[in-house]
Structure 1
Amino acid sequence: SFMEEVDKPIITTLHTILQDPPLDAKRVMDEVLRLSDMVIVLARVGAQILEEVYDTLPFKVRYIPHGCPNVPFVKSSTAKKGLDLEDRYVLSTFGLISRGKGIEYAIRSLPEVVDVRPDVLYLVIGETHPEVRKHEGESYRQSLLDLVSDLGIGDNVRFVNRFLSKRDLIRFLQATDTYILPYPNRDQISSGTMLYALCTGKAIVTTPFLHAQEIIDEGAAVGCEFRDPVSISKRVKRFIELEEIKEQYEQQAYEYTRDKIWPNVAMRYINEFYKTLGL
């Protein structure tokens, strides 16, 4: 294999680690772990899974968080002015759209939210994942549009169906009042979208997938149940009704990421590279 031919120290970063892998996947992962001099995980729970499921020795594993940009903390009311959103309470979710994102559960939560805040606007930001589009076209997005129509909330949902530059994405996030991560898959151990929402100081409602649970435990986000629109709506309404609580979570989210900005993460990688090389 390629890794066996490499005559240099190998450092492997694992973005995804399966807790219950198929036999072939486990065989491949076992070989990757055996041939790696060091393995980097993006969430602390990843180290635990490697030890318990793959019998990886702890000294071989390092935790380096998923990085994020360093942006100023800006109130949503300020950021909305440039996006013509001043008169809306903005919810958002962003990322490449696919069935594994659980956006339908967030949409189903909206009628109860609209009852208490008729000016709410849920932004679904991002284009369909290229691999999804290749195999099923825009059928998932169309199912979401149909759901919005069936629920009669066309004025409360907007699809931003394009890839945004980092600058434009951050502007939308800064204009967001509450960010929703409705992922239905508990096993996800890394979420770049979560880090972006945190670093812009958002009040976050998220399902407790593995990476999110760490963040919930540190008080930087609020958890909701998997595949449960009622649970989502309850958490969102709490932020709407209790502005002081919302502001506390915004501050906690922003503070949580201060050591995770890209220059700090890059330096941690550099230090591990030097250690591996014995320098």
Structure 2
Amino acid sequence: MLIAFISPFIPLKGGISRFSGLLADELQVKGHAVRPLGFKKLYPSFLVRGHSPEVPEHRSAANGGDAVIVLYNPLTWLALLRNLKRERPDVLLVAYWTGLLAPLLFVVRKLSGIPTVVLLHNLATHERFALEPILQKLLFASADGYITLSGEVSGALEAAGNAKPVIRLFHPVYPPFSGIEQPEKSEARRFLGYDQDAPLLLFFGYVRRYKGLDLLLRAMPAILDAWPDTRLLVAGQFYEPESGYRELIGQLGIAASVDFRPGYAADADAARYFAAADAAVLPYRQASQSGVAQLACGYGLPVIVTSAGGLAAEVEQGRTGWIAGEISSEALAAAVIGFLGDPRRPAMPQSVREYAAGHSWERFAGEAANFIRSVAKP
């Protein structure tokens, strides 16, 4: 098939860009021609509080296609339509994670007439807004089929009354960043300045309210009562005022045990963080699935998660990580303490690698391609 893939691609940062690049690569390995059609910009600066795209070190062979789209500029949608008219792909594959994409998707589907499969990372935007129901109707009027990454999203589609074909797949495991040598744990801790034996927890990724960093910080006093040497490393770009979190740390009296590394992490830095940690903690209030969990898995790192959305489905309790009983700081503290004291903990990295082997990009791309073909050529 000739697949036109509308998505952010590198150099735009973020998990969606990396996901789409890896998927495009694997689809091409399987013999399909993939034309990446990327975004120049996604959001006006006032919506992202001045955060501009940064260029990660990682590059994917499938990236570098025509980045003609500015999401908030409909004139660029016309350039996209001209591109599609020239290429005449068999099918459109569209990465979708926010309702703000729905008008673009609707216009392109209706004016191009090309069968469209939506790769649905989320059905509802994490930070919901008043126009969400209208945008959801535009989505349903545009898609000919859906690929979901979790039962959470598939269930939301069904509950919303979707009648189009759906395949529920999974979030593949991210491999370690290409071209970056993975350091040994002792070397990474020495470089970052951490004790070789003290427990080290990692919070990684964008800092937004729904990701629950405040819940994890409020859990730290109880964790430190049980494991006094524990350190928490917070590595990510703040989309909320960093000062509020620092004030909370001061109020809780845990400043000596929490380290902030704000900003978008370069690949080499991220590799050190995952190598040094004992577990990645995902204290999310809301989630469908998580790229951070699958990134940790690629490094053989267990995860500690809340029961939000589809997170628990990505973790095998006591084997690849630990699941908090509820979304609260008390439950998070109990989960971390249980994980750190579990005699099975030394064997968990091997169990994580075994899990990763069954959640490969090769398997995902094969199943996705079969579904895309069925929609493109029913």
User: What range is the shorter-chain TM-score in?
Assistant: 0.7 to 0.9
In the alignment, is residue 14 of structure 1 matched against residue 120 of structure 2?
yes
Report the counterpart of residue 65 of structure 1 in structure 2.
170
Query: Secondary structure, in 3 states, of the residue corresponding to 2:170?
Result: coil
* CA deviation after TM superposition for structure 1 residue 94, in Å: 0.9
Assess if the C-alpha contact under 8 Å between 1:184 and 1:226 holds in 2.
Answer: no
Q: CA RMSD in A?
A: 2.9
Assess if the C-alpha contact under 8 Å between 2:175 and 2:295 holds in 1.
Answer: no
Report the counterpart of residue 323 of structure 2 in structure 1.
223
Structure 1 counterpart of 2:158, from 51, 67, 70: 51
Instruction: Summarize deviations over 1:64-87 as a string: whole Å, max 9, x none.
Output: 322332249987446434433243
Assess if the C-alpha contact under 8 Å between 1:215 and 1:221 holds in 2.
Answer: no
Q: Tell me: CA distance 1:22–1:110, structure 2 relative to 1, closer, same or farther (3 Å).
A: closer
Report the counterpart of residue 143 of structure 2 in structure 1.
36
The equivalences for 1:218-257 within 5 A come to 220-242=320-342, 244-257=343-356
Assess if the C-alpha contact under 8 Å between 1:206 and 1:222 holds in 2.
Answer: yes
The equivalences for 1:118-137 within 5 A come to 118-129=228-239, 132=240
Report the counterpart of residue 194 of structure 1 in structure 2.
293
Assess if the C-alpha contact under 8 Å between 1:74 and 1:200 holds in 2.
Answer: no
Assess if the C-alpha contact under 8 Å between 1:43 and 1:190 holds in 2.
Answer: yes
* CA deviation after TM superposition for structure 1 residue 151, in Å: 1.9
Report the counterpart of residue 221 of structure 2 in structure 1.
111
Q: Tell me: CA distance 1:150–1:93, structure 2 relative to 1, closer, same or farther (3 Å).
A: same
CA distance in 2, matches of 1:182, 1:24: 28
Q: Tell me: CA distance 1:44–1:171, structure 2 relative to 1, closer, same or farther (3 Å).
A: same
Q: Tell me: CA distance 1:231–1:82, structure 2 relative to 1, closer, same or farther (3 Å).
A: same
Structure 1 counterpart of 2:201, from 91, 98, 103: 91
CA distance in 1, matches of 2:243, 2:332: 22
The equivalences for 1:66-81 within 5 A come to 66-71=171-176, 76-77=185-186, 79-81=188-190
Report the counterpart of residue 209 of structure 1 in structure 2.
308
Report the counterpart of residue 135 of structure 1 in structure 2.
none
Structure with the largest fraction of helix:
1
Instruction: Summarize deviations over 1:134-164 as a string: whole Å, max 9, x none.
Output: xxxx2xx212111111222211000011211
CA distance in 2, matches of 1:99, 1:229: 14
Assess if the C-alpha contact under 8 Å between 1:174 and 1:200 holds in 2.
Answer: yes
Report the counterpart of residue 372 of structure 2 in structure 1.
273
CA distance in 2, matches of 1:128, 1:22: 21
CA distance in 1, matches of 2:280, 2:359: 19
Query: Secondary structure, in 3 states, of the residue corresponding to 1:211?
Result: coil
* CA deviation after TM superposition for structure 1 residue 226, in Å: 4.1
Q: Which amino acid aligns with 2:277?
A: T
Instruction: Summarize deviations over 1:36-77 as a string: whole Å, max 9, x none.
Output: 2221111123222212322334xx111232233224998744
Assess if the C-alpha contact under 8 Å between 2:182 and 2:272 holds in 1.
Answer: no
Q: Tell me: CA distance 1:211–1:252, structure 2 relative to 1, closer, same or farther (3 Å).
A: farther
**Higher RCO by CA contacts (8 Å cutoff, separation 6 or greater):** 1
Q: Tell me: CA distance 1:17–1:158, structure 2 relative to 1, closer, same or farther (3 Å).
A: same
Structure 1 counterpart of 2:133, from 22, 26, 29: 26
Q: Tell me: CA distance 1:212–1:255, structure 2 relative to 1, closer, same or farther (3 Å).
A: same
Query: Secondary structure, in 3 states, of the residue corresponding to 2:293?
Result: helix
Where does structure 1 lack aligned partners over 5 or more consecutive residues? 133-137
Assess if the C-alpha contact under 8 Å between 2:120 and 2:149 holds in 1.
Answer: yes
CA distance in 1, matches of 2:183, 2:348: 14
Assess if the C-alpha contact under 8 Å between 1:91 and 1:122 holds in 2.
Answer: yes
Report the counterpart of residue 166 of structure 1 in structure 2.
267
Assess if the C-alpha contact under 8 Å between 2:174 and 2:297 holds in 1.
Answer: no
Q: Tell me: CA distance 1:230–1:23, structure 2 relative to 1, closer, same or farther (3 Å).
A: closer
Query: Secondary structure, in 3 states, of the residue corresponding to 2:119?
Result: strand
CA distance in 2, matches of 1:168, 1:264: 29
Assess if the C-alpha contact under 8 Å between 2:183 and 2:271 holds in 1.
Answer: no
* CA deviation after TM superposition for structure 1 residue 234, in Å: 1.7
Report the TM-score, using the length of structure 2 for normalisation: 0.62
* CA deviation after TM superposition for structure 1 residue 93, in Å: 0.7
CA distance in 2, matches of 1:265, 1:170: 24
Q: Tell me: CA distance 1:170–1:73, structure 2 relative to 1, closer, same or farther (3 Å).
A: closer
In the alignment, is residue 183 of structure 1 matched against residue 284 of structure 2?
yes
* CA deviation after TM superposition for structure 1 residue 99, in Å: 1.8
Query: Secondary structure, in 3 states, of the residue corresponding to 2:281?
Result: strand
CA distance in 2, matches of 1:226, 1:6: 46
Q: Tell me: CA distance 1:93–1:23, structure 2 relative to 1, closer, same or farther (3 Å).
A: closer
In the alignment, is residue 156 of structure 1 matched against residue 257 of structure 2?
yes
Identity of aligned residues (%): 20
Q: Count residues with an aligned counterpart.
A: 264
